[in-house]
Structure formats: structure tokens, C-alpha cells
Structure 1
């Protein structure tokens, strides 16, 4: 669990990154979750967009991915959300 100060720091970092995935109508399948898991291992902090055709809101998609992948939901605004998981191998982001 990350603190509010750490969450604020991660939100600041997330402002500059572009979304790398999109959640569409039926995109919350195992292959999608595997790709998100791999991206979290490599980058630690990722941004995802939820398309209007999706059955999920940004908060619902974030909560579902966090539960399955054991990551932290940093932020969910509009149709975008940010996920964070500290890498076990090579931590790139130092939290305050």
C-alpha cells in the first residue's frame, strides 16, 4: 500500500506519459492482463485508456486489474487510469 504522498508523486510522474493500452468492449481477457503485467514489470508506471465502447468505467477497470495483477491504482480520471507496481528486479522509480 502506498501513502498519499507517494501517490501524489506518482501522479506527477504520470502526467508526462502517454497511454500504452486501451480497454475496449471485451478487452479484459487473459492476454490483455498478461500484456499489462509485462508492461508493469518493465516500466513500473503505466497509463491506460478506456474506450467509450467498453463495458467498464476507468475506476472499474483499474480495480479489476489491481486485484488480478496485485498492483496499485494511482489515479482514475475520466477515461484514463494509472497503475503502479514496484519492479522486483530493477526498480526505476524511487518513492519519497
Structure 2
């Protein structure tokens, strides 16, 4: 579980990121979750965009992805979700205490 200070730190780091995945009409699929896990292992912090044709609520999508990838939701702003998962092999981000 992330503390408030850690979430602030990660929000600041994610500000300049562009969304690298989009969730559309088909919603959250098993293939999407597999790709997200791979990218989270490499980058640790990613931004996902939810398209307007997505039938599910953005909070539901964020929860589904978070549970499937075992990651933390840093922020949901507009139609963007920011996720963080500490990497096992590619540690790049050092969180504040």
C-alpha cells in the first residue's frame, strides 16, 4: 500500500508520461493484462487512457487492471489511470519513506 507522500511523488513523476495503452470497447482483456504486466515490470510507472467508447466505468477498469496485474492505482484523473508496480529486476524508482 502506498502512502500519501509516495503517491504525490509518483504523481509528479507520471505528469510528463504519455498513455501507452488504451482501453476501448472490448474493455479489460486477458491479453491486455499480460501486456500490462510485462510493461510494468520494465517501467514500473505507466499511464493508461480509457477511450470514450469503453462500456465500463473508469473506476471499475482501474480496479480490474490493478487486481489482475497486482499493481497500485496512483491516480485516476480524467480518462487516464496511473499505475505503479515495483519491478523485481529493473528497479528505477526509489520511493520516499
TM-score, normalised with respect to structure 2: 0.95
SS of 2:82's partner is strand
Report the CA distance between 1:56 and its aligned residue: 2.1
Report the CA distance between 1:90 and its aligned residue: 1.9
Give structure 1 stretches of 5+ with no counterpart. none
SS of 2:32's partner is helix
The Cα RMSD (Å) is 0.8
How many residue pairs were aligned?
96
Give the distance between the partners of 1:65 and 1:78, measured in 2 at CA.
17
Residue of structure 2 equivalent to 1:30:
30
Residue of structure 1 equivalent to 2:5:
5
Residue of structure 2 equivalent to 1:58:
58
SS of 2:39's partner is helix
1:1-96 correspondence to structure 2 within 5 Å = 1-96=1-96
Give structure 2 stretches of 5+ with no counterpart. none
Moved over 2 A (4+): none
Give the distance between the partners of 2:85 and 2:51, measured in 1 at CA.
23
Q: Which sits farther off after the overlay, 56-65 or 81-90?
A: 56-65
TM-score, normalised with respect to structure 1: 0.96
Give the distance between the partners of 1:8 and 1:44, measured in 2 at CA.
16
